[in-house]
Amino acid sequence: MSHNPNQPRLFERATEFPDPDAQDRLARLVGMDDKIHTLANLLGVLVNPEGLRKWQQKHHADAGPLVDSVIRRPPLVVLSGDVGSGKTELAETIGDRVARQQKIPVTLMPLSLASRGKGMVGEMTQLVSSAFEQALSVAEKLKSERGVARGAVILLVDEADALAQSRETDQMHHEDKAGVNAFIRGIDRLANSGVPAAVIMCTNRLHALDPAVRRRAAEIMVFSRPTTEQRLSLFTRNLAGLQFSKSELTALVQATGETTKRDHGFSYSDITQRLLPAAVLEAYPDAPIRAARVIEMAQSMQPTPVYQAR
């Protein structure tokens, strides 16, 4: 995508799927099979409504209106929930699954809210409106009158807390309210134009989600910390090749769970981005990793606090 240096950068680097790196990252996610299935189907139907029509004619020949209600849904999915629970990871990689299933190229356009307006009137609105404008124009070229689209676009709005907030909250800045309005208009435009494009929004603040945004979401997925089984599977995968015994793995799972002193365990990222790298770097370069030491480290490490609404 060309970039005018006089304008704030709208999108971070776009990713084109299929992409082997995204495929790997998606395969590494634990406990997400249902979410992956739902999301891939939802995006797949947007890209290829004809496929759903054929399915309907085969299985429910008289159920046209039912299928219409699926096809006409606004193309918005909200991924919400705790920090470090895989929202961004899933949003950035799901396009690979869709591309492979539908056998078409999928483009991920990640909107950079980091470069969002510094509160100057009109900036946020401008940013959101141009993002939808660009996604729409890319997707329009991919639309096909009948059958499968030639490609699809996923507009990713990550860290969308400002946009997720309810316009009714008093603390909300005027400019942010205008941003939410622009977002809602954008979703409606995408829905009405019937182009192969969908929006994935990630936020920690589901409770503050604007009712008008919530109403439009085809799906609201809630992400949480790993359960006991999910931690076991995370450790088993990530420590493959280290020959930890079953009881050592169990001890690790326990040390990273809830305790009498705290009502929450480790997040996914506490394990993959803090505990395990710390264990590697402590052992490196002179000694191998010892299970007993990793368990100790887990016991003395504090998990990230659960995301609290301010």
Ligand X SMILES: Nc1ncnc2c1ncn2[C@@H]1O[C@H](COP(=O)(O)OP(=O)(O)OP(=O)(O)O)[C@@H](O)[C@H]1O
Binding site for ligand X (CB under 6 A): 28-32, 83-89, 202, 204, 223, 234, 268-269, 272-273
Q: Taking a C-beta distance cutoff of 8 angstroms, is the pair 263, 229 a contact? A: no
Q: Is residue 230 part of the contact set for Mg ion (CB under 5 A)?
A: no
Q: Least CB distance from residue 243 to ligand X, whole Å?
A: 22
Q: In the complex with ligand X, which residue's Cβ is closer, 81 or 196? A: 81
Q: Least CB distance from residue 94 to ligand X, whole Å?
A: 12
Q: In the complex with ligand X, which residue's Cβ is closer, 142 or 271? A: 271
Q: Least CB distance from residue 83 to Mg ion, whole Å?
A: 8
Judged by beta carbon distances under 5 to 8 A according to partner kind, the member of ligand X, Mg ion, none in contact with residue 30 is ligand X
Distance between CA atoms of 118 and 180, rounded to whole angstroms? Answer: 15
Q: Least CB distance from residue 82 to ligand X, whole Å?
A: 7
Question: Pairing between strand 197-203 and 152-157?
Answer: parallel
Cβ atoms < 10 Å from Cβ of 256: 25
Cβ atoms < 10 Å from Cβ of 151: 22
Q: In the complex with ligand X, which residue's Cβ is closer, 27 or 63? A: 27
- Residue of minimal Cβ distance to ligand X: 86
Q: Which of residues 68-87 bind Mg ion (CB under 5 A)?
A: 87
261, two tokens: 């002193």
Judged by beta carbon distances under 5 to 8 A according to partner kind, the member of ligand X, Mg ion, none in contact with residue 223 is ligand X
DSSP summary character for residue 206: G
DSSP summary character for residue 1: -
Among 88, 228, 230, 250, binds Mg ion (CB under 5 A): 88
Binding segment toward Mg ion, per CB under 5 A, in 88-96, 208-216, 285-293, 295-303: 88-96
CA-nearest of 215, 216, 211 to 187 is 216
Distance between CA atoms of 128 and 121, rounded to whole angstroms? Answer: 13
Per the rule left: phi > 0, alpha: psi between -120 and 50, beta: everything else, 243 is left
Q: Least CB distance from residue 115 to Mg ion, whole Å?
A: 17
Q: Least CB distance from residue 5 to Mg ion, whole Å?
A: 28
DSSP summary character for residue 13: -
Q: Is residue 304 part of the contact set for Mg ion (CB under 5 A)?
A: no
Per-residue DSSP letters for 79-113? EEESTTSSHHHHHHHHHHHHHHHHTS-EEEEEE-G
Chain residues in the site for Mg ion (CB under 5 A): 87-88
